Structure 1
Amino acid sequence: MPEVSKLRKPDVKIVLLGDMNVGKTSLLHRYTERRFKDTVSTVGGAFFLKQWGPYNISIWDTAGREQFHGLGSMYCRGAAAVILTYDVTNWQSLAELEERFLSLTDTANHDCIYAVVGNKADLTDPKAQVHQDSDSVSEEGPRTESQVLSACPTPPASPVSLSGLMLHKQVTHEDAVALYGRLLRYKGLDEKASLPADKMCFETSAKTGYNVDTLFETLFDLVLPSILRKRNENKESPTVDLEDCRGTGKKTRSSCC
């Protein structure tokens, strides 16, 4: 068991938000465990601690069910980045982001970064059906330009692809870009001074791994300034360790004359 003194608090927090069944948990499993597995609906929330170079980043998975809606703002408190997730085959899942989940981000950091992510792209896009081999991606820190995801042959096809049919794509990339613009206006942010939509709108597949590493590692790179700023603030305003003061802070009883 590790010593308590060696345990470190996360440097920043990233939160996944979105309706139930859009694949938030599957995205997290694909990135952290390098595989896809069927999951049940998340109850409340759960988190994974990612070591990114010398930094600790907590990634929070939240429940999409309406009965857990009130917990969302609590999980978003102090978040450095929020991943707003929808299902590319379900228009309502995009609408729910604006109607139910956007207001939950009011407790996030004022400089929070937002990504709009359409999952299940393998159901509508043939190029997303190609399995992504993640073994070549570094686990210890940011990728270099030479490190890219390599593709291996497409795995056994699903019933959808076996029939040669693709599901109808109800949410286009342009729809996601439009939502990102409304998100910036809701936050009162200048679109010209903010991160561009083409960099912050993703389409992913938790099943094949398509764009999953790109999503998370792009966000990790973008939150680094927030980590460094937080560490500098802690150095300027160090906290007092009560354990260290116990031995030196005792009052001595004065002796009588």
Structure 2
Amino acid sequence: MPELSKMRKPDVKIVILGDMNVGKTSLLHRYTERKFKDTVSTVGGAFFLKQWGPYNISIWDTAGREQFHGLGSMYCRGAAAVILTYDVTSWQSLAELEERFLSLTDTANHDCIYAVVGNKADLTEPQARLVTERDGLTEDPGVGGGELTGEPRVPSACPTPPASPVSLSRVSVNKQVSREDAAALYGRILRYKGLEESDCLPADKMCFETSAKTGYNVDALFETLFDMVLPSILRKRTEGEGSPTVDLEDCRGPGKRARACC
């Protein structure tokens, strides 16, 4: 077993962006700690180191509060993938991704991968309230649902959000963002980046609905992105950028979070 106080520098970085209260930290907790827990607003940012086969991937959880907005481009610098997160019951949280957070990704890698993720799906989708064996989780019905260009701005093209509630068994909640809305945003992200949709991964592969509460689609989200960033890792190594051993004693090995200064 390798010495826990020493590990390689992360091979790539994944960053989670989104407004406050959309569940960014809860998603990371669910994937890394296999449980849902109450969280407080992230201050500045925090990261988790994930060992994926022979590679190390850092996942950065960022603050959604507006007073920390200026730090976002720093956290996105050199990112291989960005998870743009919204709340399926809040139309404003989707609009904020385009209005406040998309420009922060200008410092990400030129070939950065973007995922659009609607969290809190358990509030609107019956299947998202069920936990499958594949998730490796147990259902807890009693629980409710962070290293650290002069691009043109994208005009808002969001239609008027739906007003009528979606009635489901045991729950009646406004689902304000549909899968089609998320797919449309994904298309606008590609256009903002100057990319042709025909040359990129399709929206149905890069738009997810998840539930940090039950674990629905959380593993699928992270593991899909891990597979997709492998070419970036291999290219970096081919280019000789290497990954020297560094002291990350504060992290104490994969599976522990480390707080960054704000």
Output the aligned Cα RMSD.
2.6
**Counterpart in the other structure of 2:186:** 180
Task: Give CA-to-partner distance per residue, 1:151-183, whole Å, 9 cap, x none.
Answer: 86x543678999822311000000000000000
1:78 partnered with 2:78: yes
CA change 1:53–1:126 in 2 (3 A) is same
**Counterpart in the other structure of 1:15:** 15
1:3 offset after TM fit, Å? 8.1
Determine if contact 2:35/2:137 at 8 Å carries over to the other structure. Answer: no
State the percentage of identical aligned residues. Answer: 79
For residues 214 and 129 of structure 1, what CA distance do their matches in structure 2 show? 16
For residues 57 and 243 of structure 2, what CA distance do their matches in structure 1 show? 21
**Counterpart in the other structure of 1:120:** 120
**Matches of residues 77-96 of structure 1 in structure 2 within 5 Å?**
77-96=77-96
Determine if contact 1:130/1:151 at 8 Å carries over to the other structure. Answer: no
Q: Give 2:237's match in structure 1, choosing from 212, 231, 234.
A: 231
**Counterpart in the other structure of 1:145:** none
For residues 42 and 95 of structure 2, what CA distance do their matches in structure 1 show? 20
Q: Give 1:207's match in structure 2, choosing from 185, 202, 213.
A: 213
For residues 140 and 174 of structure 2, what CA distance do their matches in structure 1 show? 22
CA change 1:238–1:169 in 2 (3 A) is closer
TM-score (norm 1): 0.81
Determine if contact 1:51/1:57 at 8 Å carries over to the other structure. Answer: yes
1:184 offset after TM fit, Å? 0.2
**Counterpart in the other structure of 2:109:** 109
1:7 offset after TM fit, Å? 2.4
User: Letter of the aligned partner of 2:173 in structure 1?
Assistant: L
User: Letter of the aligned partner of 2:219 in structure 1?
Assistant: D
User: Letter of the aligned partner of 2:225 in structure 1?
Assistant: L
CA change 1:239–1:67 in 2 (3 A) is closer
**Counterpart in the other structure of 2:224:** 218
Determine if contact 2:10/2:243 at 8 Å carries over to the other structure. Answer: no
For residues 169 and 243 of structure 2, what CA distance do their matches in structure 1 show? 62
CA change 1:238–1:204 in 2 (3 A) is closer
Q: Which structure has the larger Rg?
A: 1
CA change 1:8–1:96 in 2 (3 A) is same
List runs of 5+ in structure 1 lacking aligned partners: 134-147, 241-257
Q: Which moved more, 1:156-165 or 1:101-110?
A: 156-165
Determine if contact 1:130/1:155 at 8 Å carries over to the other structure. Answer: no
Q: Which has the higher contact order (CA 8 A, sep 6+)?
A: 2
CA change 1:196–1:129 in 2 (3 A) is same
User: Letter of the aligned partner of 1:51 in structure 2?
Assistant: Q
1:28 offset after TM fit, Å? 0.2
**Counterpart in the other structure of 1:58:** 58
CA change 1:73–1:205 in 2 (3 A) is same
CA change 1:129–1:2 in 2 (3 A) is same
List runs of 5+ in structure 2 lacking aligned partners: 146-166, 245-262
For residues 144 and 56 of structure 2, what CA distance do their matches in structure 1 show? 40
Determine if contact 2:9/2:243 at 8 Å carries over to the other structure. Answer: no
Determine if contact 1:132/1:208 at 8 Å carries over to the other structure. Answer: no
For residues 94 and 50 of structure 1, what CA distance do their matches in structure 2 show? 28
For residues 16 and 159 of structure 1, what CA distance do their matches in structure 2 show? 21
Task: Give CA-to-partner distance per residue, 1:97-151, whole Å, 9 cap, x none.
Answer: 0000000000000000000000000000011000244xxxxxxxxxxxxxx4478
- What SS does the aligned partner of 2:102 have? helix
- What SS does the aligned partner of 2:197 have? coil
User: Letter of the aligned partner of 2:77 in structure 1?
Assistant: R
1:196 partnered with 2:202: yes
